Amino acid sequence: MPIYEYQCDDCGHELEALQKMSDDALVDCPQCKQASLTKKVSAAGFRLAGSGWYETDFKSGNKKNLAGDSSSSSAASAPAATAKSD
């Protein structure tokens, strides 16, 4: 859910609001009670809530390694082949 920034044109009050993308823009300033809020153009922040998708979801057995964990690669877990010379 995005976090939007607003600024009041009358009193200059700034605020952030956690809103759905489908929600209407806020218009009433909580500081001066005027209908003069405008949405600022900025990089909208967002919040991830609830149980999300993680790298280890849907993996089974010993495949639950994290990215970059070199000790759990398939080459490290396979036995090394030894060559015998006769």
**pTM for this structure?**
0.51
Pairwise CA distance, residues 67 & 57, whole Å: 13
Distances from the Cα of 2 to the Cα of 47, 59, 77, 85, angstroms: 7, 30, 43, 66
Pairwise CA distance, residues 47 & 50, whole Å: 10
What pLDDT is recorded for position 22? 92
Residues in the chain, pLDDT under 50:
72-78
What pLDDT is recorded for position 72? 47
Q: Locate tokens 């300033």: which residue? A: 29
